[in-house]
Amino acid sequence: MGKASKDKRDIYYRKAKEEGWRARSAFKLLQIDQEFNIFHGVKRVVDLCAAPGSWSQVLSRNLYVPAKQYPDCKEGDLPLIVAIDLQPMAPIEGVLQVQGDITNARTAEVVIRHFDGCKADLVVCDGAPDVTGLHDMDEFVQSQLILAALTIVTHVLKVGGKFVAKIFRGKDTSLLYCQLKLFFSQVTFAKPKSSRNSSIEAFAVCENYSPPEGFKEKDLYHLLEKVGTPSGADDLDCRSGWLEGPNKVYIPFLACGDLSGYDSDRSYPLPSTEGGSYQSLDPVQPPIAPPYKTALEMKKVASHGIGADISKLSLDS
C-alpha cells in the first residue's frame, strides 16, 4: 500500500503525522483520557513498552510541557515520566528512558530507583508481542506481558493510583478481569474509537489501586493463580469462583473517544491542496533500531544478488 493510499484508508495514521505524533496509538491514549480523565493530578508516571514513543509524547505534552510553562515551577516540581522498552527510542522532552525487558526483575528495580522512594500515580502499558495470527497464542503471550506490567505496578504504583494496559480480547478475558479486580476497585475494558473494530485489542482501565490486605509483592503469582479456582475461594474472601455458573462475569466493553469523531474502520477522502496534488507526509520519527531492521537488510542483500549466504547472517547482528 502506498503512503497516500494508507493516508486515505487510515485517518488516524494521517492525523498522527499532521499533529506530530510518532504513531497513531497516541489517539488511543488521548481518547482513554477523554473518557476516564486519567491524567488528572498525575505527577509521576511510568510508560511501559513505550517505543516508538507516541504515548510518551502524549504524557509529555499533557503533563510535562504545561507544568514547565507555569511561571513559578521549580525543577523538582516537574512531572516525572519514565519510559521503558526493549527498543531504543529518540528523545522526548521530559521523558527519562530505560531500555529493558519488562519481564525482567532488574527492569523493575531500575524504574523503582528513578522514583527514589516515591510512588507513581499512573502506569500505562501498550506492550504487544510480535503477533503470530494464532489468536490463542497471541492472547496468552499478551497476558504474560500484562502480568509483567502488573508486577511492576505492585512495586511502583501508589494506593489509589491508575493502570492502563493493552489487552487482547479472547477466551481468557474474564479471567484477566478478575485478576485485575483483585487489585483495583474499578476495572473497565475500553475500546477507543481509534482502535479498529477488526483488531482484537482493547484497553483495561484500572482505577483506585487497592491491593488485598497484607499483600506481599512476592506472592503476586500465587494469588493470581487462585482467581477463578474453587480452592482459592476461602483465601480470597470469595472473590474467586466468579468465572463459573451464575457468578460468571460479563465484562462490559466501553467505547471511548468522541463517538461522532473519526471512525478508524472507514476511508476518508484526502484533503485537497491548493493547485497541486496531495503530498503525503513522512512519519514523524521512524524507529531507531526496529527488530525488523536486520530482516530488511537481509532482504536487500538477497534482492541485489550479492551472493551472500543469508543463513549465515545472525538475526542478532
Give the catalytic positions in this structure.
166
Pick from 51, 157, 178, 256 the residue near ligand SAM by CB under 6 A. Answer: 51
The answer to whether the peptide bond before residue 52 is cis (omega within 30 degrees of 0) is yes
Pick from 127, 192, 232, 241 the residue near ligand SAM by CB under 6 A. Answer: 127
- Restricted to residues 242-271, the positions that interact with ligand SAM (CB under 6 A) are none
Pick from 65, 78, 96, 128 the residue near ligand SAM by CB under 6 A. Answer: 128
CA distance 182 to 239: 8
| Nearest in space to 49 (alpha carbons), one of 110, 109, 127, 117 | 127
* 161 sits near ligand SAM (criterion: CB under 6 A): no
> Residue 94 — left, alpha, or beta (φ > 0 → left; ψ -120 to 50 → alpha)?
left
In whole angstroms, how far apart are CA 206 and each of 21, 182, 188, 257, 306? 25, 11, 6, 17, 53
> What's the min distance (Å) between Cβ of 248 and ligand SAM?
31
> What's the min distance (Å) between Cβ of 292 and ligand SAM?
11
Q: Which CB sits closer to ligand SAM, 23 or 63?
A: 23
CA distance 299 to 1: 19
> What's the min distance (Å) between Cβ of 86 and ligand SAM?
4
Q: For the chain, where are the alpha helices, taking DSSP H only?
A: 3-9, 11-19, 26-36, 54-59, 65-69, 105-115, 135-156, 173-181, 220-226, 293-303
> What's the min distance (Å) between Cβ of 282 and ligand SAM?
17
* 33 sits near ligand SAM (criterion: CB under 6 A): no
Binding mask 98-117 for ligand SAM (x = CB under 6 A): ---xxx--------------
CB distance 90 to 103 below 8 Å: no
| Nearest in space to 175 (alpha carbons), one of 247, 103, 242, 246 | 242
| Nearest in space to 95 (alpha carbons), one of 299, 285, 237 | 285
Pick from 13, 25, 161, 285 the residue near ligand SAM by CB under 6 A. Answer: 25
* 167 sits near ligand SAM (criterion: CB under 6 A): no
* Residue 316 is assigned to a ligand binding site: no
Quote the crossing angle between the two packed helices 135-156 and 105-115, to the nearest 10°. Answer: 40
Binding mask 72-91 for ligand SAM (x = CB under 6 A): ------------xxxx----
Give contact residues for ligand SAM (rule: CB under 6 A). Answer: 22-23, 25, 49-55, 84-87, 101-103, 126-129, 145
Please report, in range form, the residues annotated as the binding site for S-adenosyl-L-methionine: 53, 55, 85, 101, 126
